[in-house]
Amino acid sequence: GVNAAIFSPSGGFIGIAFAIPAETVKLVVEQLKEKGSIIRGWLGVQIQTVTPEIAESLGLKKAEGALVAEPQPGTPAMKAGIKSGDIISSVNDQPVKDSRDLARKIAGMPPGTSIKLGTLRNGQPKTLTVTLGELPNTPARAESRQQPSERPNAPSEETGLGLSLAPARKVAGAGSQGVVVTQVDPGGHAADSGLDAGDVILEVGGKPVNTPTDVRNAVNEARGHAKHTVLLRVKTGQNTRFVAVPIG
């Protein structure tokens, strides 16, 4: 590989460094020679790695693949029929280990390439054909949460997850779908899972929720199926992700 950063407490090389894989460097150099810029393939999805907790909540035997949090409108992913909650398990029959592996595979193909994506949807295998687009050169947007002090008082309810919720439609600026996290128990499972006040919960256990009662019912249903974790689809600012929360 090519060293990108070298760790040295004294100024001399001690054998520890961060390196860019030689294969990646080779592809970049070839593109720079041919086109003068780096052009990467693009799916247009927000993805995350399938953690052991997420795998357990979905009833999967292995924590592998990339979980689609949200396909972006008008993108190759959306046009191909990729949906939130799909797990991308392979690209052209090559296994996908995690979200980073998927990103590398897609970025290494030129725009216009037609690929086969192996996916799992509700536990069932499904193959989709996608024509890659070109990765747009746009800066990443920072996440933004509504701070509790910015929100008007809204009636909230505890749901057994270590957080209090209020319907999004009753909280200014939170939208019309989902429930807003108004308070999080610092020592609870929700806080340990990374949830914070201002997050909007859109789904629990794969079901849309719009009231604290919806959340409570979905959690109780998961408990009824002897699950130890429940999967929440959460929106923070402009970004959407899945969060697995223990339910005991």
Q: Each residue of 195-235: pLDDT tens digit?
A: 999 999 999 999 999 999 999 999 999 999 888 999 999 99
The residue ranking higher by pLDDT, 40 or 134, is 134
Contact in structure between 47 and 99 (CB atoms under 8 Å) = yes
Model confidence at 149: pLDDT above 50: no
Model confidence at 148: pLDDT above 60: no
- Strand 87-91, strand 114-121: pairing: antiparallel
The pLDDT value given to residue 135: 83
The pLDDT value given to residue 171: 76
Instruction: Examine domains 41-134 and 151-246 and report if their fold is the same.
Output: yes
Q: How far is CA 99 from the centre of its chain?
A: 9
Q: pLDDT, tens digit, for every residue of 35-80?
A: 666 678 999 999 999 999 999 999 999 999 999 999 999 999 999 9
Residues 244 and 231: their CA atoms lie apart, in Å, by: 4
Q: Is the dihedral of CA 30, 36, 42, 45 positive or negative?
A: positive
Residue holding tokens 């747009």? 136
Domain boundaries of the chain, sorted by first residue: 2-35, 41-134, 151-246
pTM here is: 0.78
The pLDDT value given to residue 76: 97
Superfamily of domain 41-134: PDZ domain (2.30.42.10)
- Taken as a whole, the chain contains a residue count of 248
- CATH number, span 151-246: 2.30.42.10
Please name which of 99, 93, 41, 92 lies closest in space to residue 67, comparing C-alpha atoms. 99
